[in-house]
Structure 1
Amino acid sequence: MAESENNQRLHLYPRERLQTVAVVASMVGGAQGFFSGVKMSSLRYLTENAHRLPRTVGGWYFYHKKKNYIMLLAGFKNAATLAVKYSLGVSAFLGLEAGLDYARNSTDFFNTTVVGAVFSYAYGSLKHMTRVQKWNYVKKGSLLALCYGLAQDAMIYSRGGHVWYTKYAASTNNLQL
């Protein structure tokens, strides 16, 4: 295993990491979108047709047949939408993180925290949140990104990779009081 491989986030080079995480995020988004789309369309169909429920066995057959068709159609439509949203969002996050790693020539938690703050601010602005809501969102997003970055650094360090601040932490253990 090459030395530079030990220093990569999630043990993957940036291009491989972006491709892998984009596929995984789209699968998660697709599954979540499908099930939420099916559930919402089922309830919507019941609401729209509650005033004219079938009275015969054949009527119930066609009621459920059409309901299942509408549920599947809405589920697949919502699955495609959420799969694209999740994939683009996660890819943009990790792409900007890899760009900061390259620009700073350092792979550490700081880049992840900055990207988390930028993305949470952008999301808050996109959703037209109030200033207080937006800054609370930025604080929470930055904290989650900090935890994610520290977890990545811990993984890099456990593989024998280089994390710049660990040499300072290791040297402070030898101090005598």
Structure 2
Amino acid sequence: MTSPDPSPAPQPSQPTSQNQDGQLSAVRGLQQTWTSAVQLHEYVFARGKHARAQIEAIMSPSTMWATKITLGGAIGGFVSGFYLGGRHRAMQFLAENAHRLPKTVGGWFFYHRYKNYEMTHAGFKEGFRYGFKFAAVSGAFCCLENAFEQATGREGWINSLAAGTVTSLGFSAAARLSLQYTKYAILFGAGSSLGIGLVQDGYAFVYGTSIKDPLRARDDAFWIPGLAQIKQAAGI
């Protein structure tokens, strides 16, 4: 008969300090994201300039910049969608009624009035759809740009270009575009993001401050990766 094993039962492993730090960082990140979302909601639906100015004072510069870019994208998408949707519905309405066109002045009046109603309805429908898509793409661009800035430790056109290229690749994959249209999407995304980055660097070059945070000085406008090392090696 064997004696029982006197060794103690294994205890569950305690979380290490590294895991605790990671969990705390994740919780802080979620809290910051929630706070930014609440501030964004209050900024968009603020009543009056004074209330909006108070919200701008407590919002972080990156959140404020992302809000402006996202709202700009939403407005641009709505305008584009309204125009395209209305034009498409106008041509569709003409094709549907080509065999029964009116023959009197009153008939043409009601024809054009009903066509305008159809165009407006289709325009608003497509406008909101395009506005949501453009806002989502603009928000993704701002998030990626901020991530690249945190990785490189500086603002600059290179971060905007990288964020625009990655965003266009993600949009092409989500929309399942063909290879040819994927090339167009990448060129458009890279070109527009490069323009945004050059505007940021141009503002920093002229005024010496960041366009996102006017209280923060910037002296690295039009920074090119590796150029300083090349100049140092060449003795320039």
Name the stretch that deviates more: 124-133 or 92-101. Answer: 124-133
Unaligned runs of 5+ in 2: 1-59, 209-217
Q: For residue 144 of structure 1, report the CA deviation from its aligned partner.
A: 5.1
**Match for residue 50 of structure 1?**
98
Q: Does 1:74 align with 2:122?
A: yes
**Match for residue 104 of structure 1?**
152
Which of these two proteins has the greater Rg computed from alpha carbons? 2
Q: Does 1:120 align with 2:180?
A: no
1:1-177 aligned within 5 A: 13-130=61-178, 134=182, 138=186, 141-142=189-190, 145-160=193-208, 161-163=218-220, 165=223, 168=228
Structure 2: distance between partners of 1:42 and 1:86? 24
Q: Is the 8 A contact 2:79 2:127 kept in 1?
A: yes
Q: For residue 137 of structure 1, report the CA deviation from its aligned partner.
A: 5.1
**TM-score, length-normalised on structure 2?**
0.57
Structure with greater proportional helix content: 1
Unaligned runs of 5+ in 1: 1-11
**TM-score, length-normalised on structure 1?**
0.73
Change (3 A) 1:57 1:115: same
Structure 1: distance between partners of 2:188 and 2:79? 26
Give the root-mean-square deviation of aligned CA atoms.
3.1
Letter in 2 for 1:154: G
Q: For residue 48 of structure 1, report the CA deviation from its aligned partner.
A: 0.4
Q: Is the 8 A contact 2:89 2:119 kept in 1?
A: yes
Q: Is the 8 A contact 1:121 1:135 kept in 2?
A: no
Letter in 2 for 1:108: G
Letter in 2 for 1:162: D
Change (3 A) 1:81 1:133: closer
Q: For residue 41 of structure 1, report the CA deviation from its aligned partner.
A: 0.9
